Amino acid sequence: MSTRSDRNKFYRFVCFVLWVFLSAFYRFRVVGRENVPRRGGCLIASNHLSHMDPVVLSVASPRALCFMAKRELFANRWFGRLIGALNAFPVDRSRGDIKALREGLTQLRQGGTMIIFPEGTRNRSRSGDLGAAEQGVGMLAIKAGVPVVPTLIIGTDKVIPVGVRRIFFFKPITVYFGKPVQFNGTVAGPAERGKYQEFADFIVEEIKKMKKSLQAR
């Protein structure tokens, strides 16, 4: 039976191998690593362009990350064990998965760092413009009382383009970690759900600002 120490070593080893691979074939670059809090629970809220985004974020982050993965990926026993060792946990995307949300809250309250995609799913538009936010990121951030790091990924949509069944090499990939933001205030009763959506919308706007700032350079 593997221990937490064993899993952490395996996680670090896989991230190192992937860093070498991404650096060699995709000119991988990370900007703003210092913006990721070094301790305490934290959400990494990113745009979502490709299936490879959770891997890219895991490699880019100075801290070990966890993330939700659709439950179908756990159907294969060995692959399920592998991504489980990489801190993934299953979510049923066909319905509101309360168990997965509770697991996410537990991870955050225990000081973990978790990837979340505010749009809720992969963005399939060719422009890569962010869509509307779902309230999940707001709910997790407010209930767990943790900061959120707005994060922008550039380039993964060129590696695996929408509607193309092949992988392209030598397309630069960059991850930008923005300044952390945190909900300040208290919510209860009927107003609670509205605050979740309001904060989720704010986070998406922060990511959009990061993208506009880069495009203006």
Contact yes or no for 133/201 (Cβ under 8 A): yes
For the stretch 116-175, pLDDT in tens is 999 877 766 666 778 888 898 999 999 999 999 999 999 999 998 877 888 999 999 999
Contact yes or no for 41/110 (Cβ under 8 A): yes
Q: Does residue 174 lie within any of the structural domains?
A: yes
Domains held by the chain: number: 1
Q: What is the CATH number of the domain that holds 187?
A: 3.40.1130.10
Q: Which residue intervals of the chain are DSSP H helices?
A: 4-26, 53-60, 77-85, 98-109, 136-144, 156-159, 191-215
Q: Does residue 86 lie within any of the structural domains?
A: no
Distance of CA 25 to the CA centre of its chain: 22
Instruction: Look at residue 16 in the predicted model and tell me its pLDDT.
Output: 93
**Band of residue 56 on the pLDDT scale cut at 50, 70, 90:** very high
Q: Residue 80, class by beta-carbon neighbours within 10 Å (0-12 exposed, 13-18 middle, 19+ buried)?
A: middle
- What is the arrangement of strands in the sheet containing 113-116, beginning at the earlier edge strand? 29-31, 174-177, 148-154, 42-46, 113-116, 65-70, 88-91
Instruction: Look at residue 1 in the predicted model and tell me its pLDDT.
Output: 46
Q: Does residue 119 lie within any of the structural domains?
A: yes
**115 DSSP β-pair partners:** 44
Name the percent of the chain lying above pLDDT 70: 88
**Band of residue 60 on the pLDDT scale cut at 50, 70, 90:** very high
- Alpha-carbon distance of 211 to 130, in angstroms, equals 10
**Band of residue 51 on the pLDDT scale cut at 50, 70, 90:** confident
Print the domain residue range for 30. Answer: 4-67+93-215
Tell me the three state secondary structure of residue 176.
strand
Per DSSP, 15 falls in state: H
Q: Does residue 79 lie within any of the structural domains?
A: no
Is residue 187 over pLDDT 80?
Answer: no
Distance of CA 157 to the CA centre of its chain: 15
Q: Does residue 74 lie within any of the structural domains?
A: no
For the stretch 68-121, pLDDT in tens is 877 787 787 777 776 777 788 878 766 666 888 888 999 999 999 999 999 877
Q: Does residue 84 lie within any of the structural domains?
A: no
- Alpha-carbon distance of 142 to 122, in angstroms, equals 24
Instruction: Look at residue 88 in the predicted model and tell me its pLDDT.
Output: 83
Q: Does residue 81 lie within any of the structural domains?
A: no
Q: Does residue 152 lie within any of the structural domains?
A: yes
